[in-house]
Amino acid sequence: MSLLKNIIAHKREEVENKKKFYPLKTLRNSDLPGMTNFQSVLEKKGISIIAEIKRMSPSAGFIRRDFNPIQLAKTYEENGARAISVLTDARYFGGSIDDILEVKKTVNVPILRKEFIIDEYQIYESRFMGCDAVLLIAGILTSVQLKRFISIAREIGLACLIEVHKKNEIEEVLTTGAEIIGINNRNLDTLRVDIVTSLKLKRVIPEHYITVSESGIRTRRDVRRLEESGFHALLIGETLMKAEEPGNKLRELSGAE
């Protein structure tokens, strides 16, 4: 079984266990926190950087020893990140819902929940914990699921970043009502990364969509190439997390210094 299949199998089990302790009906009837508009910050002039917080990954292992989500969030916001992505998968990425809760209280920029969402429960849960947007991965969802999840998210005020990796996934996503499409430069089956994936697939997406390039963005030259190709935003994780001074690296990538 591939890594991705293992992740999804575990995620189904995890979600079912959550439903037993905190039912979907309870989530739907809960008071919801205020929100910040995720889509609007991606539409601002100049390329937007979504800076990511994650402890580890299957490909890199533990990324940063002095991991402090609150300090990282402050650093990202102070150095120009327009949004912050927080990875919440525990088993494979060392994430936690607590990371979202802490970051939400710390910064004023929108928060994207990076997670393997396979059930509507996770969408309501994301809104309940204060997220402003969620990631939906086209490669693990049917078009019917994508349409439904986008509709549910829209009803409760969440933005959706729909992640693709192949041309046929884009063609499918274009029929779902998506507004923000992210191209993942990392192949989720092989874990290989190449930003050329974004450069090629961007041409397939109509201009009125908001587009985000994800993963493998390491240098100012990478940022310029993607910006010149018409991307509205970049999601950058490991490059910032591995940097000795994440704030300085963020400014370097954005061209602020």
Q: Is 227 a catalytic residue?
A: no
| Options 52, 77, 120, 172, the catalytic residue | 52
| Options 215, 238, 249, 254, the catalytic residue | 215
* Contact criterion met (CB below 8 Å) for 112 and 103: no
Q: Is 40 a catalytic residue?
A: no
Strand partners, 183: 164, 213
Q: Is 29 a catalytic residue?
A: no
Q: Is 168 a catalytic residue?
A: no
Q: How far apart are CA 56 and CA 60, in angstroms?
A: 7
Q: Is 214 a catalytic residue?
A: yes
Report angle CA 24, 38, 154 to the nearest 5 degrees: 40
| Options 114, 125, 126, 198, the catalytic residue | 114
| Options 115, 120, 214, 238, the catalytic residue | 214
| Options 48, 57, 79, 184, the catalytic residue | 184
Q: Is 249 a catalytic residue?
A: no
Q: Is 14 a catalytic residue?
A: no
* Contact criterion met (CB below 8 Å) for 86 and 112: yes
Q: How far apart are CA 32 and CA 131, in angstroms?
A: 10
Strand partners, 111: 84
| Residues recognised as catalytic | 52, 54, 114, 163, 184, 214-215
